[in-house]
Amino acid sequence: MHLVLFDIDGTLLDARGAGRRAMRRTLKEVFGTWGVLDTYNMAGRTDRTTIRDVLTAVGISEEEIERRMPQVRRLFPLYLEEELRARPPLVLAGSKEIILRLQKRRDVVLGILTGNLEEGAYLKLRYAGFDPTVFRVNAFGSDALTRDELPYVALERAERLLGITFRGEDMVIVGDTPLDIQCSQVVGAKSIAVATGPFPAEVLQQYRPDVVLPDLRDTSRVEALILNGKHREAGRS
């Protein structure tokens, strides 16, 4: 069995800035400021890390941030849905096709590994036309502070929900940032990096994923790379 986890933003879809705009509105309402969000690099980071970093930079304590997180999680999905409704996300090349292909396989368990808060992740998937129910084992930015913790969340969740014990080498993580690659290496998973986000292939190659692809459109090749054992193809995109 293969546990195959996909990132959302820059991998499956392009939300066209909806998350940042919704976060700006949320933080302004809850904290009176969005801190340094406008210049902060969110790529690959969890929403919890983003919120902590942009607000502590302007003097708000971590204790205050944690105390008000329930308000953030209540308001953020409301603003995000408004943003997504006004400007729907774009589906990235090959992403729907590879999900449809993999969900038919009995030897694959599909999931999401994302820095998004859980509520935001499901909204983005639905507005891009994905069926969230096909992703059975998920790890979200609301589950941990750092992305490196999320593969372990997924492994624990898989055992609890499905009764299947996966090891790191049974896991494949597909993402578009160096932090996606890093978190796969932490747990010993196979890393497939796609250059459909902010990082070009030559930059992703520097972080030594097992595979670098320009996108997911060659679904037969992507499927084969996911199902085959670990082997480095970083020089072949």
Q: What is the tens place of the pLDDT at every residue in 79-102?
A: 999 999 999 999 999 999 999 999
Confidence of residue 230 (pLDDT cuts 50, 70, 90): low
**Percentage of the chain with pLDDT > 90?**
96
* Domain spans, the chain: 2-13+92-227, 18-86
| Average pLDDT of every residue of the chain | 95
Instruction: Tell me how crowded residue 59 is: count the other CB atoms within 10 A of its CB.
Output: 9
Are 65 and 50 in contact, with CB atoms under 8 Å apart? Answer: no
Which residues, listed in sequence order, are joined to residue 173 by a DSSP beta bridge? 5, 191
Are 142 and 104 in contact, with CB atoms under 8 Å apart? Answer: no
The one-letter code for the residue type at 95 is S
Are 169 and 188 in contact, with CB atoms under 8 Å apart? Answer: yes
Residue 75's SS3 state is: helix
User: How far, in Å, CA of 184 to CA of 191, rounded?
Assistant: 6
Domain covering 2-13+92-227, topology = Rossmann fold (3.40.50)
Mean pLDDT of 14-27: 98
Which residues, listed in sequence order, are joined to residue 111 by a DSSP beta bridge? 5, 137
Are 213 and 195 in contact, with CB atoms under 8 Å apart? Answer: yes
pLDDT tens readout for residues 110-135:
999 999 999 999 999 999 999 999 99
Residue 151's contacts (CB-CB under 8 Å, 6 or more residues apart) are 5, 113, 139, 168, 171, 173, 183, 184, 186, 187, 189
Instruction: Tell me how crowded residue 85 is: count the other CB atoms within 10 A of its CB.
Output: 11
User: How far, in Å, CA of 161 to CA of 157, rounded?
Assistant: 6
The dotted CATH code for 18-86 is: 1.10.150.240
pLDDT tens readout for residues 143-191:
999 999 999 999 999 999 999 999 999 999 999 999 999 999 999 999 9
Residue 230's SS3 state is: coil
The one-letter code for the residue type at 92 is L
Q: What is the DSSP string of 172-194?
A: EEEESSHHHHHHHHHHT-EEEEE
Confidence of residue 231 (pLDDT cuts 50, 70, 90): very low
Are 121 and 140 in contact, with CB atoms under 8 Å apart? Answer: yes
User: Tell me, what's the pLDDT at 180?
Assistant: 98
Please name the residue ranges forming H helices in the chain.
Answer: 18-31, 47-56, 62-86, 95-103, 118-127, 150-162, 178-187, 201-205, 219-227
User: Tell me, what's the pLDDT at 233?
Assistant: 43
